[in-house]
């Protein structure tokens, strides 16, 4: 059963009725630019074909009821009670099951953003084929699908960037995960055959053709099956280190620093903070270099930038794990143009840019390497830049 059909079936089970519509939003792969978004820097993600579906229908009362194929429980609250549930302090457990906080949090943030939004209740059923915990932003896909559904059902008329901001607020304040806005923007602004260059300070965006298809290239996702969570401590510690580094440099955020500032940073900071700062500064430059290289030389010339990004995340930001390093090393040894971990780190997935004819060879080699190392078998598949949110039914 497809995820779309699963959402419809779950809705019928929940309510005994057909949904008024089904809306979906994609996960994303970040081509390059990791942990730069909350530092007001630059990122270059693209939406992927894997999507989360929200089947929904308005109710005759003011209650919101949600269900998901990922959980047995159903959660129901009054819209007027959402303010008492959120915001959630960073790192604290939400007052409702975490999966439902993504859905209810979007409703709460939408009502706050819209001001005079009608307080009509709604039933929502969620299903998804975005791998959870793989660094492909399953959370932003939920937020985008739910925000798109409620935006239509409540006739709010918010644009994609406003809906991305709603999703980020839900994740930060309802779920308690201190993420930036890259994931939501990537999901909401997806385009076929293009990545989205995002200035995370101004929220200015540019659609950047990748040229993958014309060059016979594939983006191979290697899901290590090592799950992660942005609401846990490692992610927060990295963000706090970046904020500490910016404060020591006397700047608003690390976006305002360049490689020329690193010698001064070395005098002001302990070794760990310096390395966190160095990653963000150099990663911002790598994003800019990748955008320029794609335009001037094409995708076959971005490999070194991807490899350098992974080394920076492994050594300076220290968010890789053995499985991710092995995936990257094996893909490169088998001829990948470039490879890097993608997502927040501490597990999740790596990506490899490979020739179409080499997909099977690289995939098989990674599977063998994981087996030889005693790791769980990875889930390996290809993705391509795809559309953002849509109403499917």
User: What one-character-per-residue DSSP string does 118-142 give?
Assistant: ----EEEEEEE-SPTTSSS-HHHHH
Q: Which residues pair with 65 in a beta bridge?
A: 76, 123
Indicate if the pLDDT at residue 327 is higher than 70. yes
Q: pLDDT tens digits, residue range 122-138?
A: 999 999 999 887 878 99
Identify the H or E element spanning 52: strand 42-58
Q: Is 183 a catalytic residue?
A: yes
243 annotated as ligand-binding: no
Look at residue 295 and give its three-state secondary structure: helix
Q: pLDDT tens digits, residue range 14-25?
A: 999 999 999 999
- Intervals of CATH 3.30.230.10 along the chain: 3-207
Selecting among 5, 72, 183, 316, the annotated active-site residue is: 183
Indicate if the pLDDT at residue 298 is higher than 90. yes
pLDDT of residue 142: 98
76 annotated as ligand-binding: no
Neighbours of 206 (CB within 10 A): 12
Report, as an integer, the average pLDDT of 202-212: 97
pLDDT of residue 114: 84
Does the pTM surpass 0.85? The reply is yes
Fold of 211-383: Alpha-Beta Plaits (3.30.70)
Q: CA 64, 68, 74, 76: dihedral to nearest 10 degrees?
A: -10
68 annotated as ligand-binding: yes
C-alpha 113/C-alpha 116 separation (Å) is 9
Pick the range with the lowest mean pLDDT from 70-74, 84-88, 238-242: 84-88
Pick the range with the lowest mean pLDDT from 22-36, 82-96, 209-223: 82-96
**Distance between the two ends of the chain, CA-based, in angstroms?**
16
pLDDT of residue 232: 58
Specify whether the CB–CB gap between 257 and 263 falls below 8 A: no
Report, as an integer, the average pLDDT of 200-206: 96
137 annotated as ligand-binding: yes
- Intervals of CATH 3.30.70.890 along the chain: 211-383
Residue 346 backbone zone (phi > 0: left; psi -120 to 50: alpha; other: beta): left
CATH code of the region 3-207: 3.30.230.10
Specify whether the CB–CB gap between 137 and 48 falls below 8 A: no
pLDDT of residue 180: 86
Indicate if the pLDDT at residue 231 is higher than 80. no
Q: What is the DSSP string of 263-289?
A: HHHHHHS-HHHHHHHHHHHHHHHHHHH
Residue with tokens 């190392």: 373
34 annotated as ligand-binding: yes
Indicate if the pLDDT at residue 230 is higher than 60. no
- Angle of CA points 258, 262, 263, to nearest 5°: 135
213 annotated as ligand-binding: no
Half-sphere exposure of 216 (CA within 13 A, CB side): 4
């Amino acid at each position: 059963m497809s995820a779309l059909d699963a959402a419809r079936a779950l809705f019928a089970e929940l309510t005994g009725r057909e949904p008024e519509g089904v809306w979906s939003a994609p996960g994303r792969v970040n081509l390059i630019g990791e942990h730069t978004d909350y530092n007001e820097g630059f990122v270059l993600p693209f939406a992927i074909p894997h999507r989360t579906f929200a089947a929904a229908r308005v109710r005759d009362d003011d209650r919101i009821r949600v269900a998901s194929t990922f959980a047995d429980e159903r959660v129901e609250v009054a819209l007027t009670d959402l303010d008492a549930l959120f915001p959630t302090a960073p790192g604290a457990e939400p007052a409702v099951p975490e999966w439902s906080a993504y859905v209810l949090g979007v409703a709460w943030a939408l009502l706050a953003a819209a001001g005079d939004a009608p307080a009509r209740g709604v039933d929502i059923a969620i299903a998804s084929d975005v791998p959870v915990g793989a660094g492909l932003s399953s959370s932003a896909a939920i937020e985008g699908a739910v925000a798109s559904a409620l935006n239509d059902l409540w006739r709010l008329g918010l644009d994609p960037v406003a809906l991305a901001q709603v999703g980020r607020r839900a994740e930060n304040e309802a779920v308690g995960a201190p993420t930036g806005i890259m994931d939501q923007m990537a999901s909401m602004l997806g385009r076929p055959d293009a990545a989205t260059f995002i200035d995370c300070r101004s929220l200015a965006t540019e659609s950047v053709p990748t040229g993958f298809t014309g060059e016979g290239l594939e983006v191979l996702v290697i899901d290590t099956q090592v799950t992660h969570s942005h609401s846990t401590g490692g992610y927060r510690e990295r963000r706090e280190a970046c904020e500490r580094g910016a404060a020591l440099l006397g700047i608003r955020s690390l976006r305002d620093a360049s490689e020329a500032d690193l010698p001064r940073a070395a005098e002001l900071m302990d070794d760990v903070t310096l390395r966190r700062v160095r990653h963000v500064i150099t990663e911002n430059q790598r994003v800019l270099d990748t955008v320029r290289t794609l335009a001037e030389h094409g995708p076959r010339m971005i490999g070194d930038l991807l490899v350098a990004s992974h080394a920076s995340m492994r050594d300076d930001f220290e968010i890789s794990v053995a499985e991710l390093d092995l995936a990257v090393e094996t893909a490169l040894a088998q001829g990948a143009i470039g490879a890097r971990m993608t997502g927040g780190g501490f597990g999740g997935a790596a990506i490899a840019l490979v020739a179409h004819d080499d997909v099977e060879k690289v995939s098989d080699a990674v599977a063998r390497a994981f087996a030889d190392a005693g790791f769980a078998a990875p889930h390996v598949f290809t993705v391509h830049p795809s559309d953002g949110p849509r109403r499917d039914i």
